[in-house]
Amino acid sequence: MLILILLPVTVSFCVRRRRNRSSTSGRHNGVGPLPPDEAALPSSRGGGVSINFASLGSSFSYQQLLNATKEFRDSNLIKKGQSGDVFKGVLETGVQIVVKRISLESTKNSEAYLTELDFFSRFAHPRIVPFLGKCLEGTSLKFLVYKYMPNRDLPSSLFYKSNSIVDDGLKSLDWITRLKIALGAAEGLSYLHHDCSPSIVHRDVQASSILLDDKFEVRLGSFSKACHQENNGRPRKIARLLSRLSQSSQESVPGSPATATCAYDVFCFGKILLELITGKLGISSCEEPQFKKMLTEILPHISSQEKEPVTNILDHSLLVDEDLLEEVWAMAIVARSCLNPKPSKRPLMRHIVQALENPLRVVREDSSESERFRTTGSSRGSSSSGRVFGSWRQSVSDPVAAGTSSLLSQAEGLGRTSGAMGSSARESSRGASSRRSMKDV
C-alpha cells in the first residue's frame, strides 16, 4: 500500500526535474521562455523589484522582431543608445515599432533594462512614449518594443530637409511648434515629479529624450536611468555618507542615484529651453567645458528688464513678430531660472508648465503684482501664482543668477546633493560643496 502511494510522487518528481533541466538548457542557448520564478528581478539600487510582466504589453517572439526589423539590418538602425541599439521595425499588421536591443553582458545594461521594465510596468501617461511589449526569450539579449514616433526626436526635427522641389535646403521648426514642444516636455516631467508618489527623477533629460509624434506632440523616452526620489525630497543620512565616500574615491557618476534630484531634471530642462531658443544643437548633451563656454555667450543676453537683447541669441532661422518675441523672452527667463546654481532656487516643474502655458504673463505682469507675489525659491510652501508669474523676472535679476561669472563660479562650487534631494531641498553639506561640478547639480 505504501509503495502504491509513493510511486506516483516519485514519478512526478522525476518528470519535473527533467523539465527543469531541459528549460535551463534552452535558456543557456539563448532561446526558450523565462520561467515564472524569474518575474522577481533584483533592483539596480540594491533592493528587490517584483515586476508584473502581464502589465508590460504584448509578448513578442524573437522571430517576430527579426522579421519586423529585417534581421536588425543596419539601414533600420535609428541610433546606438546608452543602454542598447535602437531599430525601426514594421510588424506583419503594418504597425510601425521601435525595438531596443539590450545586451545583458554588462552590469550597466542589465540595470538599465530592469529599470525600464520596472518603470513601464507601473506608469503610463500621454506624455510618455507608449510601451508596446517585450521579448524576453533569450538570456544574453533582451528586447523592448515601443510605438514608433514619426518625427523621431528633437535633434532630428529641429532642423529638417525640405520636401519642396523649389527649396531643397534645411528648414527649421517655427516658434509656435518649439513652444509646444517645450510645454509638452514640461508636462511630462511635471507628471513624474508631482503626480507620481514618490516623485520620479528622469535623470536623462536632454533633447534626444524628447520624442515627437506626427503632430509634434511630445512623448518622453529614455527611462533607463529613472529612479524614485524618496522621503519627500529630504536626504537620508546614509545617502549623504555614501555620497561623500563616493566623492572621496572619485568613482561617483553624475546622474547616479546619489545625485538623483528633481532639481537636476529642472537644470537639464533649462538647457533644452536654450536649445529651442538658440537653435544650437547639442546644448543639452554637451560636456561641461563646452556648456560653460555656451553660457558665457548666452546668459548676458537674457535680461529681466528688456527683451531686445534676447534677439542676439535667437535662432536666425526664426521669424517672430513682437508678440512672439515676448514669448521668446519669457522662455529665456524661465530657462535662466532653471539654470540657477542653487537647486533650492530653481522652479518646480508644475510652475514651469503654468509659465509656458501663459508665457506673456511672465514678462507682462506689473510691478505691483511682482512685488506682491515675490518669492524666494521653489519651496513647497511658496505661492503658486507668485512663482508662476510674479517672481520669474525677479529670479533672473536675483544676485545669485544675475552675473554670468557668478552663475558659473557658483555652479562649479556646488556640493553634491544626496539622491533624496528635490527641487525644494537645500544643499546637504557645505563641506562637500567645493567638490561638485556643474554637470552634477
- Burial (CB count <10 Å: 0-12, 13-18, 19+), residue 274: buried
Element (H, E) at 269: helix 262-278
- Burial (CB count <10 Å: 0-12, 13-18, 19+), residue 355: buried
- Closest by CA to 359, choosing from 175, 209, 159, is 175
Which residues, in sequence order, are CB contacts of 333 under 8 Å at separation 6+?
Answer: 302, 304, 362, 363, 392, 393, 395, 396
Residue from 153, 168, 174, 204 carrying the catalytic annotation: 204
* Cα distance between residue 83 and residue 141, in whole Å: 12
Which residues, in sequence order, are CB contacts of 18 under 8 Å at separation 6+?
Answer: none
Please give the distance of CA 383 from its chain centroid, rounded to a whole number. Answer: 27
Degrees, nearest 5: CA angle 194-341-158: 70
Structural contact between residues 264 and 272, judged by C-beta atoms closer than 8 angstroms: no
204 is catalytic: yes
**Which cell goes with 270?**
533649462
Structural contact between residues 191 and 201, judged by C-beta atoms closer than 8 angstroms: no
Structural contact between residues 148 and 72, judged by C-beta atoms closer than 8 angstroms: no
* Cα distance between residue 190 and residue 206, in whole Å: 15
Q: What is the SS3 assignment for 100?
A: strand
DSSP symbol at 287:
-
Structural contact between residues 233 and 262, judged by C-beta atoms closer than 8 angstroms: yes
DSSP symbol at 185:
H
**Would you name the residues annotated as active-site residues?**
204
